[in-house]
Structure 1
Amino acid sequence: MVNINTLDPGASPLDYYGFELRRCREAAGLTQRQLGEIVNYTGSLIGQIETARKLPSLEFSERVDVALGTGGLLTRLVPLVMRSQLPTWFREVAELEVRAVEICSFQTHMVLGLLQTPAYARAVLGAVNRSKLDDRTAVRLARQQVFEKEEPPVFWAVLSEAALHLEIGDRETMRGQLAHLLTFEDNPRINIQVLPFSVGSHAGLTGAFDLYRFASDPTILYTETYGSGHPTANPETVKDCSLRYDHLQAAALSLKDSAELIRRVMEDRYGEQVA
């Protein structure tokens, strides 16, 4: 167990958050139990967060900031804390997501993390490893805050139709996930196209990939294998995959037709069943 008296705020963003939470709480003259009563959390939870044994949620941070009058200090630390909990090999990708002005993603068999619902993300992350599943799910979902920025990136997603049919979780999970995709229909910054089965062979047969474009820096291509990620700015490789993405978008259904297919699969495959 971590001893709060020896907690090093420089050890990690999570340690720094815990150190600042304790400092602000004590400056307000409150015990953990008293603060918990104010923000409607247990004193035990506050103790776990102060000792870097539990991840703070955005909602928790917002409530504590108001209660302690910190000017939003803890809320501002949450994205940093969450990114620090990602696998080491994936942290660079999280930074790319934050910096990019445009993200183009092609997925072959599942909905990508930036568009996942909590239930779907939990099912994906828990397929093999269920340890610390709540925390790992929260960390993945926290990446979606990139869409809440004052200037969020323009996001293009081409999903293979297989992603709509592969039942990850259960029927309710899939119905909720497809319904979530439909909530972006009228959002010009989040665009979802489906590559239908009828296309046959296509430019993405070699696998999923993402392109990150920036205001002034070179475009980054990102591919992934088991337990490792591979970002590259190699001009020829980026050029090749950019062309592949253009062909995938051309072969995919229009935004309107994609939404109609998502809606049809949601109702036909995952709708209410009559006994």
Structure 2
Amino acid sequence: MSQVNVLDPSASPLDYYGYELRRYREAVGLTQKQLGEIISYTGSLVGQIETARKLPTAEFSERVDAALGTGGMLSRLLGLVLRSQLPSWFQQVAELEARATEISTFQTHMVHGLLQTEAYARAVLGAMDRTDLDDRTAVRLARQRILEKEEPPVLWVILGAGALYQEIGGAEVMRGQHAHLLSFELNPRVNIQVLPYEAGAHAGLTGSFTLFRFTSDPDIAYTEDYGMAHPTANPNDVRARSLRYDHLQAAALSIKDSAELIRRTMEERYGEQHAVA
């Protein structure tokens, strides 16, 4: 008889998820293989998730919730599980994203993680390290669930024009990324502006930054560099970043003109003829 790996549910959110999955499964008298057959996954995968050796996905969680009658418990837990898998230095930032009522970000050369497609995110994350790339990509995309909340934050994004032209992942990936940006064109809670090259010297030359605003907590200004996060609630720093952001918004194209530039760049630079070439 094989030894059952007993998890400590307090060890981590992933361990807690696996513990609860096993508890619900055993409560209805199903084996891992039987549950796998019901939800169209292998029993081996069920076992790997139960023993915290594999990350669950949204689809897996939804199917298990339905099959075991959990009342959506595992799907609700999934966000915490995936957030816990972020690099330790970035976990605080993900918590700020999840709590903020408004997020204002300026990105010099890359699309912000909250707006990245799966293919674009894979290309970014795999640039220097391709280990566990599927899991790391899933973890990054899980942050975007905040935009699907009943009361999502208002997101303001200013993209340096270079983000539209830096060919990350190839023409097909960039075309998909541009199309994804355009999908928010009529969404009043996701506002995208492009800072064109013609703006010349501007208030964001020193680099990307983000402002988080909350209902009752102090505003946070955030910058990052290689593997380090730098959030601050210092009022002087927040005011200085806010002033820079105001100037960047004034220099950027309007939301409508930005969408037209994104659309034109998608067709002219990453159109189907370019992708085949």
> What band does the TM-score fall into relative to the shorter chain?
over 0.9
C-alpha distance in structure 1 between counterparts of 2:117 and 2:28, whole Å? 37
Tell me whether 1:239 sits opposite 2:207 in the alignment.
no
1:17 alignment partner in structure 2: 17
Classify the secondary structure of the residue corresponding to 1:105: strand
Contact 1:4/1:51 (<8 A) preserved: no
The one-letter code of the counterpart of 2:43 is G
1:118 alignment partner in structure 2: 118
C-alpha distance in structure 2 between counterparts of 1:45 and 1:103, whole Å? 37
Q: CA deviation at 1:115?
A: 0.1
Q: Deviations over 1:240-269 (max 9, x none)?
A: 000000000000000000000000000000
1:224 alignment partner in structure 2: 224
Classify the secondary structure of the residue corresponding to 2:272: coil
Contact 1:105/1:209 (<8 A) preserved: yes
1:135 alignment partner in structure 2: 135
The one-letter code of the counterpart of 1:78 is L
Tell me whether 1:82 sits opposite 2:77 in the alignment.
no
2:67 alignment partner in structure 1: 67
Classify the secondary structure of the residue corresponding to 1:104: strand
Contact 1:4/1:50 (<8 A) preserved: no
C-alpha distance in structure 1 between counterparts of 2:172 and 2:115, whole Å? 17
1:181 alignment partner in structure 2: 181
Tell me whether 1:31 sits opposite 2:31 in the alignment.
yes
2:42 alignment partner in structure 1: 42
C-alpha distance in structure 2 between counterparts of 1:4 and 1:188, whole Å? 51
Tell me whether 1:267 sits opposite 2:267 in the alignment.
yes
Classify the secondary structure of the residue corresponding to 1:177: helix
Q: CA deviation at 1:127?
A: 0.2
> Could you list the runs of 5+ residues in structure 1 that have no partner in the other structure?
none
> Could you list the runs of 5+ residues in structure 2 that have no partner in the other structure?
none
2:198 alignment partner in structure 1: 198
Would you say how many aligned residue pairs link Structure 1 and Structure 2? 273
1:214 alignment partner in structure 2: 214
C-alpha distance in structure 2 between counterparts of 1:229 and 1:177, whole Å? 26
Tell me whether 1:108 sits opposite 2:95 in the alignment.
no
Q: Deviations over 1:121-176 (max 9, x none)?
A: 00000000100000000000000000111110000000000000000001100000
Q: CA deviation at 1:7?
A: 1.4
C-alpha distance in structure 2 between counterparts of 1:150 and 1:235, whole Å? 30
C-alpha distance in structure 1 between counterparts of 2:119 and 2:214, whole Å? 31
Contact 1:32/1:46 (<8 A) preserved: yes
C-alpha distance in structure 2 between counterparts of 1:202 and 1:4, whole Å? 60
Q: CA deviation at 1:4?
A: 4.5
C-alpha distance in structure 1 between counterparts of 2:17 and 2:148, whole Å? 22
C-alpha distance in structure 2 between counterparts of 1:133 and 1:109, whole Å? 22
1:155 alignment partner in structure 2: 155
Classify the secondary structure of the residue corresponding to 1:5: coil
Classify the secondary structure of the residue corresponding to 1:46: helix
Contact 2:5/2:51 (<8 A) preserved: no
The one-letter code of the counterpart of 2:46 is I
C-alpha distance in structure 1 between counterparts of 2:214 and 2:46, whole Å? 39
Q: Deviations over 1:21-64 (max 9, x none)?
A: 01101111111111011001111110110010100001110100
Classify the secondary structure of the residue corresponding to 1:6: coil
Moved >2 Å (runs of 4+): 3-6
Kindly report the root-mean-square deviation, in angstroms, between the aligned alpha carbons of the 2 structures. 0.9
2:6 alignment partner in structure 1: 6
Classify the secondary structure of the residue corresponding to 2:5: helix
Aligned-pair identity (%): 74
Q: Deviations over 1:184-207 (max 9, x none)?
A: 000000000000001110000000
Q: CA deviation at 1:6?
A: 2.9
Q: CA deviation at 1:217?
A: 1.0
The one-letter code of the counterpart of 1:147 is L
